[in-house]
Structure 1
Amino acid sequence: MNKPLLSVRDLRVDLNTRSGVLHAVRGISFDVAPGETLCIVGESGCGKSMTSLALMDLLPRVARRSAGGITFDGQDLTRRRIAGRLRGRRMAMIFQEPMTALNPAFTIGDQMVEAYLYHVGGTRAQAVERAAQMLEKVGIGSARSRLSQYPHQLSGGLRQRVMIAMALITDPELLIADEPTTALDVTIQAQILRLLKDLQKELGLAIILITHDLGLVSRIAERVVVMYAGAIVEEGSAAEIFDRPAHPYTRALIDCIPQPGRTERGAHLGTIAGVVPSLIGPQEGCAFRDRCPVAQPRCASDIPTQQAGSHRWVCIHGGRA
């Protein structure tokens, strides 16, 4: 892989709750190269969104972030002054739920112009012109008139396009998209996905896509990180992950989705027995062991890192690699 644009080492996020400390993210590490698409996948509650918020230093007050290192283009993101300077300018984020991510009290134009003036500067006229250009770039017609509209006047698909335009208005190098197709119908999902791919090719963006939709991952990802219970259980190229999944959790996830040409009509889809373990309190051993069909006694106390090939690894004792 090329020199990383973003490098994350031993990232942890803990939240104080009435029941104890919840370990939402437990020591994950990964890199993102310039222009690369990395997808982080896993069930709801596995720590995907907390990871994205930790990278942008936007965690809630009850959360504590620690890391062995988080660097963007060689700059230390654990230092808040540096993170604040890069956030929104060179690193941008599309948040979940386009229906609620925009402020309903301000027009689309006001929100886009504010972002541009804060991070880039210039005159208001220049900011308005840039906002209109970005709306056109993401496929919104009559861009000038759209700037005077409020979020409630737009459909869900248009609001998501506005969110993408707002994120890209400052020409960032890294885009973090947290469930960018949530609450959108499948036709609009496909349009948003195609838009992201086209913009990435045109602008040279690196993209971190946070999702639980493996169908979406298979169409856009170059590399995939699989998370379970706050930890990474497998990482590799998209082709490796889908063709030769090594971790039992990854295999179970893939078995849960219909695959064209492989899943027979009327056949039962796979399921994952059991429930996700609590992340409150000390964590020992493999969090997936109680749901794993190949678990061994040592999984209760030890988590190995087993190489499964070049630029790929998987945490596993049993099963095939």
Structure 2
Amino acid sequence: MEPLLQVRDLKVDFKLRTNTLHAVRGMSFEVREGETLCIVGESGCGKSMTSLALMDLLPRAATRSVGAMRFGEVDLTDRRAVRRVRGNEMAMIFQEPMTALNPAFPIGDQMTEAYIHHTGATGSAARARAVEMLNEVGIASPEKRLGQYPHQLSGGLRQRVMIAMALMTSPKLLIADEPTTALDVTIQAQILRLLRDLQQRLGIAIVFITHDLGLVSRIADRIVVMYAGARVEEGSAAEIFGAPRHPYTQALIDCIPQPGKSERGAPLGTIPGVVPSLMGDVRGCAFRSRCPVAQPICADAVPLRAEGGHVWACIHGAEKDETERAPA
């Protein structure tokens, strides 16, 4: 089966006065129908820029280049084609609903605008659809909510409105950019459960962007780990959590307290050092200044290793795995 979304060698650059900032450096991945792909990494690693590049919503200062980027039969490098599927077959939940929702318009107007544009529905039909979707995401008194403004809703309700708005046109692909940021743990669990239930009932593919591996472990089918604008590892959830090959992936996992393994009161894991500057060319492994197993060869071109669908960019991994399996 052909992937629903294919991305090859995606790059996003910002040309500054004296140099160029390489925000995304050669990202490649695929998403299949009904699958949840999680893109994870520290803040500033290029996750949100990747999602905005897919939707052709990058800031004006950004320049996008790509080897290939397709959604089904649609070439996403064709801006006219993108306008036909954006907000229709491809939808996005933005990172902060309070800033993504327009404070000057009621919820109903914002929910129906794209639906009317893409389907040609009447205003009354669009509002009926909005009521249906607010019901779908578990919002009580949906008719009343349509007349309210974003500031009149709690954070959890605003996030549910964003999800309902994205689902208005029954998209095939939903891009969720940090949809649980700034929400308390209870609301986070509700939003995750909602997305999972909607996916199972509607067959939607989801690209879930987050820095929280705890969330990822609960929803991911496959995971892409990003560092300094590039993909450093990709694999199934079982491969990433059960047998991580890149030192950065292992370091992220070590930062998560594990029930039954982490000692009570013990310090949490940390990754020493700082993320390197993405100004100018980044040579070799960008993680080598923070890596506990770095070698001089890491300053050279990084090899891309693969075992089935498990891919990682590191000189280590395969040798380590063979060493661990040798006694057996």
* TM-score (ref. length: structure 1): 0.98
Aligned to 1:297: 296
Does 2:58 correspond to 1:55?
no
Query: Quick one: percent identity of the two aligned structures?
Result: 71
1:138-173: per-residue Cα shift (whole Å, max 9, x none)? 000111111111111100000000000000001100
Q: Partner of 2:12: helix, strand, or coil?
A: strand
Aligned to 1:101: 100
Aligned to 1:184: 183
Aligned to 1:318: 316
Aligned to 1:33: 32
Contact 1:295 1:317 in 2 (8 A): no
Aligned to 1:10: 9
Contact 2:94 2:177 in 1 (8 A): yes
The structural deviation recorded for 1:74 is 2.2
Runs of 4+ in 1 over 6 A off after TM superposition: none
Mapped to 2, the partners of 1:318 and 1:222 lie a distance apart of 24
The structural deviation recorded for 1:25 is 0.4
Q: Partner of 1:306: helix, strand, or coil?
A: strand
The structural deviation recorded for 1:19 is 4.1
Contact 1:16 1:62 in 2 (8 A): yes
Q: Partner of 2:226: helix, strand, or coil?
A: strand
Q: What is the letter of the counterpart of residue 50 of structure 1? A: M
Q: Matches of residues 1-321 of structure 1 in structure 2 within 5 Å? A: 2-307=1-306, 309-318=307-316, 320-321=320-321
Q: Partner of 1:293: helix, strand, or coil?
A: coil
Unaligned ranges ≥5, structure 2: 322-328
Q: What is the letter of the counterpart of residue 282 of structure 1? A: D
The structural deviation recorded for 1:114 is 1.1
Mapped to 1, the partners of 2:314 and 2:234 lie a distance apart of 12
RMSD: 0.9
Contact 2:245 2:316 in 1 (8 A): no
* TM-score (ref. length: structure 2): 0.96
Mapped to 2, the partners of 1:32 and 1:261 lie a distance apart of 34
Q: What is the letter of the counterpart of residue 116 of structure 1? A: Y
Contact 1:295 1:318 in 2 (8 A): no
Q: What is the letter of the counterpart of residue 80 of structure 1? A: R
Q: What is the letter of the counterpart of residue 54 of structure 2? A: L
C-alpha change, 1:148 and 1:40, in structure 2 (3 Å) is same
Contact 1:135 1:143 in 2 (8 A): yes
The structural deviation recorded for 1:261 is 2.0
* Number of positions where the alignment pairs a residue of Structure 1 with one of Structure 2: 319
Mapped to 2, the partners of 1:120 and 1:258 lie a distance apart of 47
